[in-house]
Amino acid sequence: MPPALDRLDRDVVRAWLTEGDGAALDALWRRADEVRRARVGDVVHLRGLVEITNFCARQCAYCGIAACAGPLPRYRMTHDEILVCARQGRDFGFGTIVLQGGEDPGLSGPFVAGVVRAIKAETGAAITLSLGERSEADLRAWREAGADRYLLRFETTDAALYKRIHPDLPGTVSDRIGQLLRMRDMGYEIGTGVMVGVPGQTWDTLANDIWTFRDYDMDMIGIGPYLADPRTPLAGTLGAELAAPPSEQVPNDELTTLKAVALTRLVCPDTNIPSTTALSILDPSAGRANGLCRGANVVMPNLTPPEYRVLYQIYPGKAAVHETADVLADKVIALVGGLGRTTGSGPGGRRGRD
Ligand code: 5AD
């Protein structure tokens, strides 16, 4: 018998992560869906994602656009190109625009502030930034320019593993969490997350990761499967070296990812949780819907122009690189309707829900 779901602690989360009984898992899925409905409702918030630069100074061992991932044509979108995408998002009814990119020193603080101001003025959308670790001055300037939220996954709470998969990051995982908390003090809603099944990630680590979301009361939590990219060190000898013994190593599969999403909903009942793109790649026919039915309440349709999207493959097969933004948006809206849910039109922030 698995432990009761109404008294969660780290050990209970750990036990549920390895649960294999179908009837027990059905109870987990039901509970996650009920808590999702009771606490954040049936509205699915759509965030239009614009991948504004694939330059990256970092060498994260899993990432297909890392500086170490081999030769890759690099792009940085112009102010006007980004604005075209943001207007498209507004026209589709998306209440949030997400500007994401590699950690790009060529992306200046004032440039991003100018883009944020222009998007706010023209669309009124909420703005989420996801541009890596940046200086305090940049983060403050972007908040003053109108940015509402910041996404920065901590990736793993295992300090040694964090160092191995981020060989050139200056700080520790605690420093990264510290940066998130400073952003919260600046007035951002803060988002974080982890990949499921990174070589070296054990069941204890993943349970600890999920409990850490709760410790810091994260506003947004993205959880997707790790997808090995053959261009990266983690897909090769580094991954083989880091892998935990089979009984301890978390697999990078859909079932485990869905368990992590459902348990995160239970320990952080009113947070915003996306059904991630990586999940939809692992299971193109049902991954997105499965996430939405097991705790998630957000989807991030891609607005990046296809010619840039093909160059922003942080992992292989990144969804639908040849479909235009309007096709993607229509599909997502149809998917949400098909689940009997509605799409949100407001900003969909955690504070002042609408
Ligand atoms: N597989 C899955 N997710 C990945 N990310 C980066 N590389 C991969 C990969 N190979 C995730 C990281 C990062 C987010 C933007 O994408 O968690 O924070």
Residue 300, CB-side half-sphere exposure with 13 Å CA sphere: 26
Q: Which residues pair with 298 in a beta bridge?
A: 45, 274
CATH of 10-343, one of 3.30.479.10, 3.40.50.300, 2.60.120.260, 3.20.20.70: 3.20.20.70
pLDDT of residue 325: 84
Residue at token pair 């059904």: 275
Torsion of CA 47, 50, 53, 58, to 10 degrees: 20
Distance, in Å, from the CA atom of 233 to the CA atom of 236, rounded to the nearest integer, reads: 5
pTM: 0.97
| pLDDT for the residue 354 | 47
Say how many Å lie between the CA of residue 331 and the centre of ligand 1. Answer: 23
Query: Which token pair is 19?
Result: 């649960």
Task: Determine if ligand 1 sits within 6 Å of the CB of residue 153.
Answer: yes
pLDDT band for 6, please (50, 70, 90 cuts): confident
The pair of structure tokens assigned to 194 is: 């982890």
Distance 154 CA to ligand 1 centre (A): 11
Q: Mind listing the pLDDT tens digit for each residue in 74-116?
A: 999 999 999 999 999 999 999 999 999 999 999 999 999 999 9
Q: Which two tokens stand for residue 219?
A: 């506003």
Distance 54 CA to ligand 1 centre (A): 13
Averaged pLDDT, 1-13: 92
- 308 Cα–ligand 1 center, Å: 18
For the chain, percent of residues with pLDDT exceeding 90: 89
Whether the CA torsion 201, 203, 205, 206 is positive or negative: it is positive
Taking only the tens place, the pLDDT of each residue in 125-180 is 999 999 999 999 999 999 999 999 999 999 999 999 999 999 999 999 999 999 99
Express as a percent the part of the chain with pLDDT over 70: 98
Q: Indicate if ligand 1 lies below 6 Å from the C-beta of 227.
A: yes
Q: What is the mean pLDDT of the chain?
A: 95
Convert the pLDDT of each residue in 278-304 to its tens digit. Answer: 999 999 999 999 999 999 999 999 999
Does pLDDT of 352 surpass 60?
Answer: no
